[in-house]
Amino acid sequence: MQARAVLASVLAVALVLSGCAQPHRTIAPVGAPPPESTAPPTPKPHPSVTKPAKPPLRPLPAKLPAGLGRNTGVRPVALTFDDGPSPAWTPKVLDQLKAAKVTATFCVVGREVQRHPELVRRIVREGHQLCNHSWRHDLDLARRPVAEIRADLDRTNKAIQKASPGAKVPFYRQPGGRWTSEVLGVAKNLGMRPLHWSVDPQDWDKPTAATIGKRVHAATRPGAIVLLHDGGGNRAATLAACPKMIADLKRRFGITRLH
C-alpha cells in the first residue's frame, strides 16, 4: 500500500513536470499579450557561470596622441598640481600661491573632491583653474570601455559641481598621462580639453626639495606646463621647493593661468 502511494506521487510529479516543460506559447490563450509579458521571469543562471568576462584593456598607443595641451601658448609658464585636494597639503600650496600672487591649475581626483569639498571651494574662490583628474586615479581608465570612461569623468565633474556649484572644469588630465584617443573623445564630449605637461620633476618619487627645484629650473622653457603634486602622498618636498621655484619661474618667464 505504502509503495502504491509513493508510485502515485511520483507519477503526479512527473505529469506536473512534463506540463511545465511545454513551451509557454502553446498554452498561452489566443490573443493574449506577447509571451514576454505573461511568462514567468526566466530564472537567472548562476552569475559565476554567465557573468561576461571583463572586456580586455585596449592597448596604449605607441606614442602620445596628438592634440594634448602641453604648453601655454604664451611665454609665461603654468603650474599644475595633481591628485588633491588634500587637507594636509593643498591649503599650504594655496597659501604659497597667494603669497606669490600667482594662480595654478588643480587637477583634482573625484573621490578626494567628495571628501574635501571645502578645499575645492577655496581653490575656486582664490582664482585657480580646475581640471578633472578622474574619480579614483585609475591609471588604466583610458583603456577601458568608453561608457566606463564617460561615467568616471562625469561622476568627477558632478562631485566638483556639488562642492562648488557653477565651477568651470575646462580641462581633463589622464592619470599617469596614459592617454588614448577614446579618453580624448570622451573628455571633448564633456566639454574638457586634454591637459598634459612639458616639465615633470617626478616629485611623486620623493626627491629632495633641492632636486625638484633643480629639475624644474633646468627643464622649463617658455610656455611650459609644470607638473607638481599637492595630493596622493607626502608632499613636504614639493611644498619646500615651491617658494624658490615659483620665484625663479616668475622671474624668467612669468606665471600664467591656463586659458
82 is catalytic: yes
Q: Does 152 bind Zn ion (CB under 5 A)?
A: no
* Smallest separation, CB 28 to Zn ion (Å): 58
Binding mask 83-102 for Zn ion (x = CB under 5 A): x-------------------
Pick the closer one to Zn ion by CB: 204 or 243: 204
Residue 175 vs 194, nearer CB to Zn ion: 175
For Zn ion, which is the closer residue by CB, 151 or 204?
204
Provide the edge-to-edge strand list for the sheet that holds 193-194.
193-194, 171-172, 129-132, 105-108, 78-82, 225-229
Rg of the Cα atoms in the chain? 29
Q: Residue-wise over 119-136: b if at least 16 C-beta within 10 A, else e?
A: bbebbbeeebbbbbbbbe
The CB-of-42 to Zn ion minimum distance in angstroms stands at: 45
Q: Is 82 in the site for Zn ion (CB under 5 A)?
A: yes
**138 included as an active-site residue:** no
- Is residue 175 reached through a cis peptide bond, with omega within 30 degrees of 0 on the bond before it? no
Residue 203 binding Zn ion, by CB under 5 A: no
List helix spans (H) across 21-128: 24-27, 35-38, 47-50, 90-100, 110-115, 117-125
115 Cβ contact list (under 8 Å, min separation 6): none
Nearer to Zn ion, 215 or 229 (CB): 229
| Binding flags for Zn ion, 158-177, as an x/- string (CB under 5 A) | -----------------x--
- Residues binding Zn ion (CB under 5 A): 82-83, 175
